[in-house]
Amino acid sequence: MVFVLGLCVMLLKASADVGSIITSSVFENMLKHRNDAACEGKGFYTYDAFITAAKAFPAFGTTGDATTQKRELAAFFGQTSHETTGGWSSAPDGPYAWGYCSVREGSNTASTGYYGRGPIQLTHDYNYRDAGSAIGADLINQPDLVATDAVISFKTAIWFWMTAQGNKPSSHDVITNRWTPSAADTSAGRVAGYGVITNIINGGLECGKGQNDQVADRIGFYKRYCDLFGVAYGDNLDCYNQQPFA
């Protein structure tokens, strides 16, 4: 009995390890063009930085069964790859092999200001303040740490992913089946699935507007990563008919 219990604990620990799903070679295959010469962020996003950041959030990529864990990681990288994409329709290996190409939003190079930086393209002073408070970094006075320290950069993205804000659930709770839509959500067409994560991240600009390229791009990245992990996509991938969160 002791042996069986010990084996179960070992198996549980083995499955609850982001690095056992996204190994270094898997990371390179997922983001195979991130260090291309044409990418503004070449050399910035490293595997070790990702793993170090992930360990600061024990529930990230380790919640639920193996399928749920893989689907969460596919969703996280699907969304963040869209935010940092350098791909185009005829790009080598396809447009969805070009995630994590950029670090800074557009042509911004300033070390000050709260423009988009990092995998989630963290924006707004309140997000820099709250993310910094959560991870122990002074991002109000040093916002450019999100673009110069890869561990901090990944941590801000995972923090955003794991954190509910206002009437928005966390992306983590959505993808791990821990969110139940309220009556208001249901009335607004916001149903559980990858699509509502897009709504959480950028619903005001992308959701409730019918089919559009931005949402389709997020779905394309997500599907590629699900395919690499060998998991089904789940239902409700888009937010074309969802009203944005108020």
pLDDT at 4: 44
Whole-prediction pTM: 0.94
**Contact predicate 104/145, CB 8 Å:** no
Spell out the alpha helix ranges (H) of 93-231: 125-135, 145-148, 150-162, 171-175, 183-187, 194-206, 213-229
Enzyme catalytic residues: 83
How many CA atoms lie less than 13 Å away from 217 in the CB half-sphere?
19
pLDDT at 8: 43
Taken in order of first residue, the domains within the chain and their CATH numbers are 16-103+149-229 (1.10.530.10)
pLDDT at 124: 98
Per-residue pLDDT of the chain (246 residues; tens, 9 = 90+): 444 444 443 334 434 699 999 999 999 999 999 999 999 999 999 999 999 999 999 999 999 999 999 999 999 999 999 999 999 999 999 999 999 999 999 989 999 999 999 999 999 999 999 999 999 999 999 999 999 999 999 999 999 999 999 999 999 999 999 999 999 999 999 999 999 999 999 999 999 999 999 999 999 999 999 999 999 999 999 999 999 998
Spell out the alpha helix ranges (H) of the chain: 2-15, 18-21, 24-30, 47-55, 66-83, 125-135, 145-148, 150-162, 171-175, 183-187, 194-206, 213-229
Q: Per this entry, what is the length of the chain?
A: 246
